[in-house]
Amino acid sequence: MQNKIPDAMSDLETWLCYLEQLHPSSIELGLERVKSVAERLDLLQPAPYIFTVAGTNGKGTTCRTLEMILLAANKRVGVYSSPHLLRFTERVRINNQESTPSDTVKAFAAIEKARGDVSLTYFEYATLAALYQFKQAQLDIVILEVGLGGRLDATNIVDADIAIITTIGIDHVEYLGNTRESIGQEKAGIFKPKSIAVVGEPEIPSSILDVAHAINCPIFAVNKDWSYQQIDKLFWQFHSSIKQYKNLPIPHVPLANAATAIAALSYSPFSITQKQIDSALEKTSLIGRFQIIQSSPTVIVDVAHNPHAASYLVKQIELLKQQQLKVGKVRFVIGMLKDKDIKSTLSIFNADQWYCASLYGERGCNADILKQFLQEENVANIATFDSVYEAYQKAMQEAKEDDIIVICGSFHTVSAVLDTVSN
């Protein structure tokens, strides 16, 4: 029996429980249903200017860099991102302030009233709620992070002025295909005839270029139309035919993603000074992205859950080890979803001790399966646990002061630890 329909007086948890059982599947790609509700609420133009960001990795940090620079340039900015780590309200930021439960509930109530008999997934409801809040806030700019793919993702009901693709890797193959060409084509679905496309993927699939050319969408790609170089440990530079910036501070996010954000801004109509960029980069970071939450031992959380992200994480760990006078053991606490490329991801990591944790829910992978994949790579020192919390506790108990503990593999894994630390 379906739960009682919540209203504007219901709390956020009641609404979220309702949304989780509202639609028969958690993912249903396609724009017709969600677009029809958005039209009823006049949400298809939530702000005068729209950036949409797609890609296998780096979406969140690219959005964050865009956001911080535009705020430094005194713009009113809204950001929609997913998934969240600790609270559903993290998905919406307005002028760098997380949404409130009451504003989220107001949006949900308005959507419920407008949707009639149209069935919406949890993500579609979340996307509409973000657009509703942005429209209410009368913003200058909205930044939308694509949830899955691009062409059929709910965020794509809004036409981007600048459509960004960060990276292309193999992920979500059951929805996007199992080649970089098919995945690139899906992600390029955010390109529109009146948009500008900016691509940060250095090995750009030809399918992305084909989509852009087919609809006469101007496309600006890394190492062709714009480039960036790290100068030393402190500074880097950006160059395009339109803008050049020298001696930019190294941010606390991947340099490739910061550069992609600056590239997008350089092709936008906004006038931004290097002083504003410098100020923003020094403050740009994002929860759960190579986030050091403790020292002695060093504890790092990172949402890396596919081979591309794993490779970046390994490089960051090596850089950290070079900076430390003494490095003990590297201990990995890992939990993954079973629909990820577990084998390839695990093969990239290198640890002295493994703490494999089971994740629950229909997509969660059992710890014994992670152990099996590791053993196939001839890895030793593997322990299994029923939960991320137990794995993390054991790693902390066994660690010495100069050890490094890395918690990764999924947003779910990182959130379980951050929830423990914040309580």
- Quick one: pLDDT at residue 327? 87
pLDDT for 11-58, tens place per residue?
Answer: 999 999 999 888 666 566 679 999 999 999 999 999 999 999 999 999
Three-state DSSP class for residue 125: helix
Instruction: With beta carbons less than 8 A apart as the criterion, state whether 421 and 408 touch.
Output: no
Residue found by looking up tokens 């002695």 in the block: 296
The yes/no answer on whether domain 291-422 falls in CATH 3.30.300.30 is: no
Residue found by looking up tokens 């690139």 in the block: 184
pLDDT for 140-161, tens place per residue?
Answer: 999 999 998 899 999 999 999 9
Query: What are the residue boundaries of the structural domains of the chain, listed by start?
Result: 12-283, 291-422
Cα–Cα dist 39/120, whole Å: 14
Cα–Cα dist 303/151, whole Å: 24
- Quick one: pLDDT at residue 148? 83
Cα–Cα dist 133/97, whole Å: 12
The dihedral sign for the CA sequence 384, 390, 392, 398: negative
pLDDT for 246-263, tens place per residue?
Answer: 999 999 999 999 999 999
Q: For residue 235, what are its two tokens?
A: 């500074």
The overall longest dimension of the chain from CA atoms, in Å, is: 63
Taking CB atoms within 8 Å and a gap of at least 24, the contacts of 145-148 are 145/53, 145/59, 145/60, 145/63, 145/79, 145/80, 145/81, 145/82, 146/52, 146/53, 146/54, 146/55, 146/59, 146/187, 146/190, 147/82, 147/123, 148/27, 148/29, 148/172, 148/175, 148/176
- Quick one: pLDDT at residue 28? 67
> Can 12-283 and 291-422 be said to share one CATH topology?
no
- Quick one: pLDDT at residue 366? 97
Which parts of 263-372 are beta strand (E)?
291-294, 298-301, 330-334, 353-357
pLDDT for 86-131, tens place per residue?
Answer: 999 999 999 999 999 999 999 999 999 999 999 999 999 999 999 9
pLDDT for 307-359, tens place per residue?
Answer: 999 999 999 999 999 988 788 999 999 999 998 999 999 999 999 999 999 99
Cα–Cα dist 393/118, whole Å: 45
- Quick one: pLDDT at residue 1? 36
Cα–Cα dist 283/248, whole Å: 13
- Quick one: pLDDT at residue 362? 84
* Helix 388-398 / helix 411-422 crossing angle, nearest 10 deg: 60
- Quick one: pLDDT at residue 349? 96
- Quick one: pLDDT at residue 22? 81
Report the relative pairing of strands 404-408 and 382-385 from DSSP bridges.
unpaired
- Quick one: pLDDT at residue 174? 60
CATH code: domain 12-283 is: 3.40.1190.10
Which of 176-190, 278-292, 297-311 has the weakest average pLDDT?
176-190
pLDDT over 70 percentage in the chain: 95
pTM for the whole thing?
Answer: 0.93
CA geometry: angle 160, 310, 186, nearest 5 deg: 30
CA geometry: angle 331, 251, 67, nearest 5 deg: 115
Query: Average model confidence (pLDDT) for the chain?
Result: 93
**The pLDDT of residue 3 is above 60:** no
- Quick one: pLDDT at residue 20? 87
Cα–Cα dist 259/44, whole Å: 29
Q: Which of 167, 166, 122, 335 is nearest to 262 (CA)?
A: 166
Residue found by looking up tokens 């039209």 in the block: 39
Mean pLDDT of 64-92: 97
Instruction: With beta carbons less than 8 A apart as the criterion, state whether 176 and 186 touch.
Output: yes
